[in-house]
């Protein structure tokens, strides 16, 4: 069996730093399983590999430990809080324009609720469906925002979604502007970006 290239030759070839002539140049196609058993490992190659593994292990030891499950739960809780606010705002706007929620408005709320299906827990989903059936007053919504510690960013996202869903119907514009001004006044009263 032919003697294979050294590890340093393989590394230098991979980096484009070969010192061999054209006729003896190794190609990556030749570096396959037939050479793997015949690699000559020099002390230089061994130290290079051990130094690299030491650096990798030091890097891994310096990383803080993360609990991915807790992070996912926190994201789901925040998403559910935002969804509750968005549904309350939708129901408020749809109810305020004519005093009732029409079939098309109910379908818009249902379509939005279905889009949340995999993003929140089933308990939160049931809570949101229950909230969508009972209209809320503006004071109840403002109370929800203050008791649930909803951030300014979440309020902005909820208003953006509300405008996106209601943009085709101009009769909601006045209600949304009134709602936006009330929420901005509430933001001004908040401290350090939190309400």
pLDDT tens-digit readout, 11-59: 665 555 555 544 444 444 454 444 555 555 555 555 555 555 555 555 5
What is the token pair recorded at 31?
């570096």
d(CA 183, CA 26): 70
What residues contact residue 1 under an 8 Å CB cut-off, 6+ apart?
A: 34, 38
Q: Is residue 157 part of a domain?
A: yes
Is the residue at 164 inside a domain? yes
Cα–Cα nearest to 137, from 103, 170, 178, 93: 93
CA–CA gap between residue 110 and residue 97 (Å, rounded): 19
In the chain, the DSSP E strands lie at none
104 within domain boundaries: yes
Tens-place pLDDT, residues 81-113: 999 999 999 999 999 888 888 899 899 889 988
Instruction: Flag whether 1 is in a domain.
Output: no
- Out of 41, 62, 83, pick the residue that ends a domain: 62
Instruction: Write down the pLDDT at residue 24.
Output: 45
pLDDT digits (tens, 9 = 90+) for 134-170: 888 889 998 999 898 888 899 999 999 998 988 888 8
Q: Is residue 140 part of a domain?
A: yes
Domains in the chain, number: 2
Over residues 46-69, the pLDDT tens digits come to: 555 555 555 555 555 566 677 888
Q: Flag whether 2 is in a domain.
A: no
**Residues of the domain holding 137:** 69-189
Q: What's the pLDDT tens digit per position in 113-135?
A: 888 888 888 899 999 999 888 88
pLDDT of residue 192: 42
On whether residue 13 sits in a domain, the answer given is yes
Q: Could you tell me if residue 194 is inside a domain? A: no
């Amino acid at each position: 069996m032919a003697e294979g290239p050294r590890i340093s030759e393989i590394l230098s070839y991979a980096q484009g730093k070969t010192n061999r002539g054209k006729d003896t140049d190794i190609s990556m196609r030749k570096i396959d399983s037939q050479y793997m058993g015949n690699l000559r490992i020099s002390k230089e190659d061994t130290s290079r590999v051990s130094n690299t593994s030491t650096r990798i292990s030091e890097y891994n030891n310096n990383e803080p430990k993360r609990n991915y499950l807790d992070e996912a739960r926190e994201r789901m809780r925040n998403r559910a809080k935002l969804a509750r606010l968005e549904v309350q705002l939708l129901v408020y706007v749809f109810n305020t324009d004519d005093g009732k929620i029409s079939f098309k408005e109910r379908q818009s709320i249902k379509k939005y609720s279905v889009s949340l299906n995999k993003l929140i827990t089933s308990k939160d989903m049931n809570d949101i469906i229950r909230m969508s059936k009972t209209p809320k007053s503006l004071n109840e919504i403002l109370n929800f925002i203050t008791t649930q510690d909803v951030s300014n960013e979440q309020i902005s996202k909820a208003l953006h979604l509300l405008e996106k869903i209601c943009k085709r119907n101009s009769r909601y514009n006045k209600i949304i502007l009134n709602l936006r001004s009330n929420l901005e006044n509430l933001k001004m009263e908040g401290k350090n970006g939190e309400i």
